[in-house]
A = this chain, B = another copy of it.
Amino acid sequence: MRKRQYLLQQGAICTHLSFVAKGLLRSFTVDEKGRDHISLFAWEGWWISDFNSFLFQEEAQLNIDAIEETQLVMISRADYEALTLKVPIMDRYFRLLYQNSLATKDRRLISSHTHTAEEKYLQLAHSYPHILQRIPQHLIASYLGLAPETISRIRKSLALRQAD
């Protein structure tokens, strides 16, 4: 996929789970005011999909596009079922993958209620220090539910404190 290309658009059916071999994507919704809300970033080693659409073959509510040039390995719904039936260790693989994904989603939801803007940014920066440099600032703001100016302010404030 080239940069900015769509893997999935809202209203389509998400036919595959996609594993990122190289590159970076995001999944997001657009609200009625036209604002993006980013659900997930996926880079090398991560999977991305509209999970409800993939599992239940219903219309996707998410859009997915590439932030960088991206190479994917994709598996269809039927092959996913067949794979886990024929190769039981894949059940274990996906059980562990989903387990970690649930833990991450919980952490994010709790953080959204209990952390300040700076704490949210620092949690992300601490968890994924390298990836943060690959993602434009306005997309990080959208992921954290903050205004882009807030991210600018936090970065400046952190840089000043590090310089002390």
Contact = CB atoms under 8 A, between A and B. Distances in A.
Interface of A: 29, 31-32, 37, 39, 50-52, 55-56, 61-62, 84, 88, 91-92, 94-95, 98-103, 105-107, 109-110, 113-114
5 contacts: A29-B113, A31-B113, A51-B106, A55-B100, A61-B114
Contact of A95 (B31, B52, B84, B105): B84
Contact of A105 (B29, B100, B105, B107): B105
Contact of A32 (B101, B106, B110, B114): B114
Task: Count the copies.
Answer: 2
Contacts of A55: 99-100, 103
